[in-house]
């Protein structure tokens, strides 16, 4: 979407259509990308609960890396959307190129960290030695080529911020199909050929990420924000602006992921079985995030473009409409999650105690879905408007003062187990939604009064 396509007097129905036009491909893409992790866990669960826990703690470490890569994408997305809204395509291209170089450097750095310090990173989780041994195999394979994780994330962010959410979706389609095939073959083998177990799951993911990175760069070269990594022509450095927006987002995601590592450690203290059940519930719950993530991308793009064009009332209205749509989608998912939690749990395990714990977790989480929708979409809208600090503050308060303390108090001190853990998570989600909603209204009240539009 370019600035010339920012229609002056759209009806509410037309705005909803514009939101869904961006959001639905992003939703589908997110669902398909989530299937990659889902299939890994599903297949690995057939190997045993130790292997499930190993993949869970390895992915908790990788989530910290991805948090930083995604933060770079947040800064790039905000600037690209605002530049396109202002009709400055050259600036959008410069942001895309310079943010890509940042992603390359950061991806190489985390790849080296993984190569040399895998066991040390996993020891921070406090898991059993057998779990750490299996997790190290998985993490070293999947984390050393982190450059491909960072580039996939930044390339997807660039395309979506320019208004193209279909291409990342299409790439995710064939990546997902290829991953399922490779996952099965490399984990379990074929015929007389033995599989590689947990290492096979890691290699399948690495292969599809490399191919996905190359495909996304190919499509960027054909897009309206096309740039060449090998073009030495100079452009005005936008690194300070990218870093200024990305730094709070980086801190916010680090707070979230490092907090996640800590509370994962608390859950491991409760027991390996509880952690395995939590991991399974979290993998199932991830699908509930997909509408919210897709609509958050639409909010970032539309709010950013209308803010760039100086049309603040329209920007505000798009954020509110997108949030309402997300609440509707995710409330339906919450009902489904509550009703079918036991059946969903049986996809991963036949252990009766584990199924019971997963069911409890998902039914508690079902009630948090509307608040989760608000938090996800308002965060995207704020980032589109250039406010990356408020989500950082909300995450710091929610993760460290509510979620972690709540998990310790309810899950460990009061011995409520999985129920206490997920009640604490739900409280965190609710309080963040209230805080971010207030910030969003306050920000746009100031913009509208100052800008007069």
If residue 190 lies in a helix (H) or strand (E), which one and from where to where? strand 189-190
Which segments of 216-317 are extended strands (E)? Answer: none
Q: What is the predicted pLDDT for the residue at 236?
A: 65
Q: What is the predicted pLDDT for the residue at 445?
A: 95
Token pair, residue 308, equals: 């760039």
Which has the closest alpha carbon to 368: 319, 308, 429?
Answer: 429
Query: How far apart (Å, rounded) are the C-alpha atoms in residues 38 and 67?
Result: 19
Q: What is the predicted pLDDT for the residue at 10?
A: 79
Query: How far apart (Å, rounded) are the C-alpha atoms in residues 84 and 92?
Result: 7
Question: Is residue 169 within 8 Å of residue 31, measured between CB atoms?
Answer: no
What percent of the chain is predicted at pLDDT more than 70? 94
**3-class DSSP state of 18:** helix
What percent of the chain is predicted at pLDDT more than 90? 60
Which has the closest alpha carbon to 300: 174, 197, 388, 366?
Answer: 388
- Banded model confidence at residue 3, pLDDT cuts 50, 70, 90: very low
The pLDDT mean for the chain works out to 89
Stated pTM of the model = 0.84
Query: How far apart (Å, rounded) are the C-alpha atoms in residues 222 and 217?
Result: 9
Q: What is the predicted pLDDT for the residue at 93?
A: 92
For residue 336, report the phi and psi dihedrals to the nearest 5 degrees: -60, -45
User: How many other CB atoms are there within 10 angstroms of residue 117's CB atom?
Assistant: 12
| Res 6 pLDDT > 80 | no
Q: What is the mean pLDDT of residues 147-163?
A: 94
Residue-wise pLDDT for 82-136, tens only, equals 999 988 999 999 999 999 999 999 999 999 999 999 988 888 777 778 888 888 9
Position with higher pLDDT, 316 vs 64: 316
Q: What is the predicted pLDDT for the residue at 379?
A: 97
Q: What is the mean pLDDT of residues 126-151?
A: 90
Q: What is the mean pLDDT of residues 346-361?
A: 92
Residue-wise pLDDT for 374-415, tens only, equals 999 999 999 999 999 999 999 999 999 999 999 999 999 998
Token pair, residue 87, equals: 């009709």
Q: Which of 30-34, 135-139, 395-399, 421-425 has the lowest mean pLDDT?
A: 30-34
Q: What is the predicted pLDDT for the residue at 288?
A: 87
- Residue bearing tokens 């099965």: 184
Q: What is the predicted pLDDT for the residue at 117?
A: 92
Token pair, residue 149, equals: 């994780």
- Residue bearing tokens 């960027």: 220
**3-class DSSP state of 249:** helix
- Banded model confidence at residue 8, pLDDT cuts 50, 70, 90: low
Q: What is the mean pLDDT of residues 215-239?
A: 83
Query: How far apart (Å, rounded) are the C-alpha atoms in residues 167 and 290?
Result: 17
**3-class DSSP state of 178:** helix
Q: What is the predicted pLDDT for the residue at 1?
A: 45
Most confident of the following: 214-223, 234-243, 287-296, 345-354: 214-223
Question: Is residue 238 within 8 Å of residue 91, measured between CB atoms?
Answer: yes
| Res 47 pLDDT > 80 | yes
| Res 451 pLDDT > 80 | no
| Res 196 pLDDT > 90 | no
- Residue bearing tokens 């503050």: 393
């Amino acid at each position: 979407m370019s600035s010339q396509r920012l229609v002056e007097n759209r009806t509410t129905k037309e705005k909803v259509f514009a939101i869904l036009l961006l959001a639905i491909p992003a939703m589908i893409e997110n669902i398909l990308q989530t299937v990659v992790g889902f299939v890994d866990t599903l297949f690995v669960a057939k190997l045993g609960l130790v292997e499930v826990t190993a993949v869970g703690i390895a992915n908790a470490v990788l989530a910290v890396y991805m948090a930083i890569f995604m933060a770079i994408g947040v800064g790039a997305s905000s600037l690209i959307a605002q530049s396109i809204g202002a009709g400055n395509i050259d600036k959008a291209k410069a942001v895309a190129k310079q943010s890509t170089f940042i992603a390359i450097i950061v991806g190489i750095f985390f790849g080296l960290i993984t190569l040399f310090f895998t066991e040390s990173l996993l020891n921070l989780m406090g898991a059993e030695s057998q779990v750490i041994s299996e997790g190290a195999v998985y993490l070293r394979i999947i984390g050393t080529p982190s450059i491909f994780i960072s580039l996939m994330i930044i390339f997807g962010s660039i395309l979506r911020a320019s208004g193209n959410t279909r291409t990342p979706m299409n790439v995710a389609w064939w990546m997902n199909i290829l991953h399922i095939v490779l996952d099965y073959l490399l984990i379990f083998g074929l015929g007389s050929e033995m599989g590689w177990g947990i290492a096979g799951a890691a290699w399948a993911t690495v292969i599809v990420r490399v191919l996905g990175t190359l495909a996304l760069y190919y499509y960027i070269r054909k897009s309206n924000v096309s740039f060449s990594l090998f073009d030495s022509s100079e452009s005005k450095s936008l690194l300070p602006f990218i870093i200024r927006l990305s730094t709070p987002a980086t801190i916010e995601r680090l707070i979230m992921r490092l907090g996640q590592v800590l509370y994962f450690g608390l859950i491991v203290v409760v027991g390996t079985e509880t952690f395995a059940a939590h991991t399974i519930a979290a993998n199932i719950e991830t699908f509930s995030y997909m509408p919210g993530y897709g609509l958050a991308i639409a909010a970032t793009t539309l709010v950013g473009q209308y803010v760039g064009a100086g049309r603040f009332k329209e920007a505000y209205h798009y954020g509110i409409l997108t949030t309402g749509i997300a609440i509707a989608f995710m409330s339906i998912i919450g009902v489904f999650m509550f009703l079918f939690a036991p059946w969903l749990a049986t996809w991963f395990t036949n252990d009766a105690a584990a199924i019971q714990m997963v069911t409890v977790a998902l039914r508690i989480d079902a009630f948090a879905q509307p608040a989760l929708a608000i938090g996800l979409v308002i965060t995207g809208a704020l980032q589109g408007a250039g406010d990356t600090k408020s989500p950082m503050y909300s995450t710091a308060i929610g993760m460290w003062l509510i979620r972690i303390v709540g998990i310790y108090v309810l899950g460990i001190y009061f011995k409520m187990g999985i129920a206490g853990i997920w009640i604490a998570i739900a409280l965190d989600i609710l309080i963040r939604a209230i805080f971010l909603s207030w910030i969003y209204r306050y920000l746009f009240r100031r913009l509208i009064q100052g800008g007069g539009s």
